[in-house]
Amino acid sequence: MINLNTNSSKIALMIVATIFLFACEQATPPAETSATEQPPEAKMAADPAAAVNVIADQYYATTLERTPEVAYFSGVELQRHDGMEDNSPAVRRSAEQEFDAMLAALERVDATALNGKTEWITHAYLLQSLRAAVALRVCRTELWNVNQMGGWHSGYAQVAQLQPVGSAEFREQSLTRWSKFAGYVDQEIENLKLGLELGYSAPKTVVQRVIDQVDGILALEVDQSPFYSPAARDDDETFASETGSIVTNEIHPALKRYRDYLADTYLQAARSELTVTANPDGLACYEASLQSYTTLDRSGKDVYELGKVTVAANRESVIELGKASYGLDDFKAIIDRVKADPADRFSSKEELLQFSRDMVQKAESEMPKWVGNMPEQPVVVVPFEEHEEGTGRSAHYRPASADKPGEYRIPLFEPEEQSRGGAEATAFHETWPGHHLQVAVGQSVESLHPVTQIIWFSGPGEGWARYSEALSEEMGLYATTTGPITRRAWPARGMVVDPGIHLFGWTREEAIEFMLESGRFPDTFGDEMVDRIAILPGQLTAYDSGGLEILALRKMAEDTMGDDFDIRQFHDRILENGTIPLIQLRAHIVAWIEDYKAHH
């Protein structure tokens, strides 16, 4: 799971943030335009590519102006570091009007005139992002924005830790930014109050997790708070005193107000139901969210049915491995054997951390045999902060920036409950050949419009990472017997359990039983994952929706090219456009295959 926090349309969600291309032309860099400037009609009609670049420039400028926080999670450099999103309803409505105008302008562009140009990629990113943002308005997420999976409270804690310091100008900007935080928190409380009046709320179990997370921050001494990080990384005593005063007198009291509102008022009024359909227009919200994540026009029911078929096939594959490894031919018996294997557990946090680092290093050393475009950016394994442990957050990847390596951030909570096989699969998913490779390749492509660095689509993004778990087995990376078994037992279950909860009335107990049957995760994972599905409707379907599509495209290429098929070239073609929507990814690979056929 890639962590690209942004408050723009769903801070919890990562709807905006990252990547890339296929043609050889240079994309036009962002022009100095105002956030409200409209693309000239004449220019759009005469030069569709130029029109797309103008709209992309506007989208890029508007996004970084309104939600500068996104820059810290997408490798984008900001000119100033004193901004903070305005989360008031009036500003949200103004932003929606701007994006409506951009979408209308984009839909007037003749997309067929962009074939073979880098602007085809830019157009695909913008069209999916803008259409999804409009469709998602039905969810009114800003009115129930209580989220344990990277919500604003943890997102801003990370921004504080990335706040530039070291000069008088940076120190002034830091103080300006964090002086705005209390107002942001108070507006969040007002948004939630309005949500309750209109019938919108987050599930009670999710609310409790967020309360626990905020309690974790408030329990820290001021100089240990993530919001004190700017001062801790600077040697100016006056700055340290002023930062400490803001944390003590503004930030922590605001978080306490938020925490108390959740605990004393909101929790009682929050919905008991897990399904988003308990909110107004919840069914439409689920379908919009599903499309936004997967980038496919596939209904929740169709996802559910495809998931069931895929899970059944995966069970048979597990049984084949179980026969070879354990002499067992019963799925449950195989998984029980895996879970009971004492050699598959860790004895300490240090052992889990070192094992993960070893797996990442091993995978990196093999990558040149499997991709032609090998990026230079490093990735490091970083344990969770103490206040993040045991709060329901998952391991995730944080992209590299100009002066920082990519980070694979992992929880070390209860290491004796974590599987070595599961740790392998997750490491490969998040680093090499998964998210880090994917994002680093995109960052290395200079010809892409910068807007592609602040837009992220889970279907192709998480789809590549899921595909990478299987690819890692081809690469010979798994050192355990359990890894190949559990990595087969889990995939596509998200395609079943997610719509199961939101559309088909699954209970918490049914969902937990179905997920834990895979054996890939500790028993505590079940409750955490149910709450994750509840607050991120549709997101868990994206992994295998994308992974299955990439596998289908690979089979198409292999069937056509036969002995000429080059796995390195195929992976380069998949990655060179970043997280381009899956429909356009298919068109790109089909064009590559057709070009091969034309020359053979």
Banded model confidence at residue 75, pLDDT cuts 50, 70, 90: confident
227 in a domain, yes or no? yes
185 in a domain, yes or no? yes
Nearest Cα residue to 127 out of 139, 138, 114, 140:
114
- pLDDT at residue 25, as a whole number: 28
CB-based contacts of 76, cutoff 8 Å, min separation 6: 64, 70, 450, 453, 454
Nearest Cα residue to 226 out of 159, 179, 166, 148:
159
Q: 72-76, 97-101, 164-168, 367-371: lowest mean pLDDT where?
A: 72-76
Torsion of CA 239, 242, 247, 253, to 10 degrees: -170
Angle at 285 between CA 279 and CA 286, to 5 degrees: 100
pLDDT single digits (tens) 471-482:
999 999 999 999
37 has pLDDT over 60: no
Banded model confidence at residue 45, pLDDT cuts 50, 70, 90: low
- pLDDT at residue 392, as a whole number: 67
- pLDDT at residue 13, as a whole number: 35
Looking at residues 504-527, what average pLDDT do you find?
A: 93
pLDDT single digits (tens) 252-289:
999 999 999 999 999 999 999 999 999 999 999 999 99
Q: 92-106, 351-365, 399-413: lowest mean pLDDT where?
A: 399-413
130 has pLDDT over 70: yes
Taking a C-beta distance cutoff of 8 angstroms, is the pair 428, 419 a contact? no
CA within 13 Å, CB half, 599: 7
Residue-range definition of the domain harbouring residue 200: 146-280
Banded model confidence at residue 539, pLDDT cuts 50, 70, 90: very high
Angle at 203 between CA 202 and CA 207, to 5 degrees: 80
Which tokens go with 133?
């943002």
- Cα separations (Å) of 578 from 276, 291, 471? 30, 18, 18
505 has pLDDT over 50: yes
Taking a C-beta distance cutoff of 8 angstroms, is the pair 538, 286 a contact? yes
Q: Which residues pair with 419 in a beta bridge?
A: 345
Looking at residues 15-32, what average pLDDT do you find?
A: 31
Banded model confidence at residue 183, pLDDT cuts 50, 70, 90: very high
Question: How do beta strands 396-398 and 379-383 pair?
Answer: unpaired
Torsion of CA 439, 121, 469, 559, to 10 degrees: -150
- pLDDT at residue 480, as a whole number: 97
349 in a domain, yes or no? no
pLDDT single digits (tens) 368-389:
999 999 999 999 999 998 888 8
Q: Is the dihedral of CA 268, 273, 276, 278 positive or negative?
A: negative
132 in a domain, yes or no? no
294 has pLDDT over 90: yes
User: Phi and psi at residue 84, in whole multiples of 5°?
Assistant: -150, 140
Taking a C-beta distance cutoff of 8 angstroms, is the pair 486, 519 a contact? yes
User: Phi and psi at residue 537, in whole multiples of 5°?
Assistant: -60, 125
The answer, as to whether pTM is greater than 0.95, is: no
Banded model confidence at residue 10, pLDDT cuts 50, 70, 90: very low
Looking at residues 47-58, what average pLDDT do you find?
A: 97
Count of structural domains, the chain: 1
Percent of the chain residues past pLDDT 70, beyond the cut: 92
15 has pLDDT over 70: no
Helices (H) and strands (E) in the chain, counts: 26, 3
169 in a domain, yes or no? yes
Nearest Cα residue to 458 out of 134, 8, 18:
18
CB-based contacts of 465, cutoff 8 Å, min separation 6: 2, 429, 430, 434, 435, 438, 543
Burial zone of 105 (CB within 10 Å; 0-12 exposed, 13-18 middle, 19+ buried): buried
194 in a domain, yes or no? yes
- Report d(CA 575, CA 561) in Å as an integer: 19
- Report d(CA 206, CA 385) in Å as an integer: 20
Which tokens go with 142?
């800003």
Could you give the 3-state DSSP secondary structure of residue 108? coil
Residue with tokens 């195929």: 570
Number of Cβ within a 10 Å radius of residue 249: 11
In whole angstroms, how large is the CA radius of gyration of the chain? 23
Taking a C-beta distance cutoff of 8 angstroms, is the pair 370, 571 a contact? yes
Q: Tell me the average pLDDT of the chain.
A: 92
- pLDDT at residue 524, as a whole number: 83
- pLDDT at residue 84, as a whole number: 98
Q: What is the 3-state secondary structure (H, E, C) of 124-175?
A: HHHHHHHHHHHHHHHHCHHHCCCCCCCCHHHHHHHHHHHCCCCCHHHHHHHH
Looking at residues 306-313, what average pLDDT do you find?
A: 98
Taking a C-beta distance cutoff of 8 angstroms, is the pair 15, 456 a contact? yes
190 in a domain, yes or no? yes
- pLDDT at residue 7, as a whole number: 36
pLDDT single digits (tens) 83-101:
999 999 999 999 999 999 9
570 has pLDDT over 80: yes
- pLDDT at residue 22, as a whole number: 25
582 in a domain, yes or no? no
Q: Give residue 562's identity as a one-letter amino acid code.
A: G
Between 59 and 150, name the one with better pLDDT. Answer: 59
pLDDT single digits (tens) 191-221:
999 999 999 999 999 999 999 999 999 999 9
Maximum average pLDDT range among 46-50, 147-151, 302-306 = 302-306
- pLDDT at residue 442, as a whole number: 87
